[in-house]
Amino acid sequence: MDISALFKITYGLYIVCSKADEQQSGFIGNAVMQISAQPNQIMVASSKNNYTSELIKTSKKLTVSVLSMDAPMELIGRFGYRSGRDTDKFSDCQVFYTDDNQPVVLNHAIAWFSCEVAETRDAGTHYLFACNVIDAVITDRETPPMTYTYFHEVLKGKSPKNAPTYQIKNNINPLPKKEEIMNQDIYVCDVCGYEYDPAQGDPDNGIAPGTPFEALPDDWECPLCGVDKTNFSKV
Ligand code: FE
């Protein structure tokens, strides 16, 4: 059996949110699909470790924001790699509340659904929530949806240059010589898999292309999941 065949399944990228007892959270999900049209039902898979799973089980409600192709890494990292137990993921986000008080993240969303959980299935590491869609809105008819493949193969943990949040800060370090860049090692984040490539640097966070990993400031954080340099390993 070639397990990598499973990698050929296509997915999108979504922010799934829920609110229960005044607690709210959300996570980045890729496993969202429509399972029937009469009634309109979707299936959402959520890790049992997700705080949002607890909230969904209590509220029996969730919302799904369909992320656009230009969604920046900061947004994906914030909802994808930090826990809602100790982080307010919604700060600085544009959040809409449905009639039944469920949060919907509107940043870089091209559509969203509001759902009631009809059935929950235990799938080992995950819950499968079969949900009735009670509201559905398109917010952007032009931008294509983000795909999981694009996220992994094209973005590689960096903001796309056409993303609204993309900017090169002014206080970047001076460029090293070309031959210095050649011999620098790539480091990978042990938590989220982000690769720090010295040739690319991290311009979003003031790190010029050509900056070796060892020269990153001590307060530099993984731009995807937010852990510090000690959580990186040499590739
Ligand atoms: Fe990381």
pLDDT band of residue 175 (cuts 50, 70, 90) is low
Average pLDDT for 29-57: 95
Nearest to 102 by CA among 55, 32, 50: 55
pLDDT band of residue 166 (cuts 50, 70, 90) is very low
Query: Ligand 1 being an ion, which residues bring their Cβ within 5 A of it?
Result: 189, 191-192, 194, 222, 224-225
Distance 187 CA to ligand 1 centre (A): 11
Distance 228 CA to ligand 1 centre (A): 8
Distance 182 CA to ligand 1 centre (A): 24
> In whole angstroms, what is the distance from residue 24 CA to residue 120 CA?
19
What is the distance, to the nearest Å, from the Cα of residue 228 to the centroid of all Cα atoms in its chain? 19
Average pLDDT for 123-152: 94
Distance 72 CA to ligand 1 centre (A): 15
3-state secondary structure of 42: strand
Distance 141 CA to ligand 1 centre (A): 32
pLDDT band of residue 181 (cuts 50, 70, 90) is low
Query: Is there a contact between 46 and 52 (Cβ–Cβ < 8 Å)?
Result: yes
Distance 193 CA to ligand 1 centre (A): 6
Write the single-letter amino acid at 52.
T
Distance 196 CA to ligand 1 centre (A): 10
Distance 231 CA to ligand 1 centre (A): 8
Predicted confidence at residue 109, as pLDDT, reads 98
To the nearest whole percent, how much of the chain has pLDDT over 90? 62
82 token code pair:
């930090």
- Higher pLDDT, residue 9 or 96: 96
Write the single-letter amino acid at 48.
K
Predicted confidence at residue 171, as pLDDT, reads 40
> In whole angstroms, what is the distance from residue 94 CA to residue 110 CA?
13
Mean pLDDT over each residue of the chain, to the nearest integer: 86
Predicted confidence at residue 156, as pLDDT, reads 61
3-state secondary structure of 102: coil
Average pLDDT for 191-214: 89
Strand runs (DSSP E) across 30-148, as ranges? 32-37, 40-47, 61-67, 95-97, 103-105, 109-123, 126-138
> In whole angstroms, what is the distance from residue 209 CA to residue 132 CA?
48
Query: Is there a contact between 17 and 63 (Cβ–Cβ < 8 Å)?
Result: yes
pLDDT score of 190 more than 90: no
Residues in the chain: 235
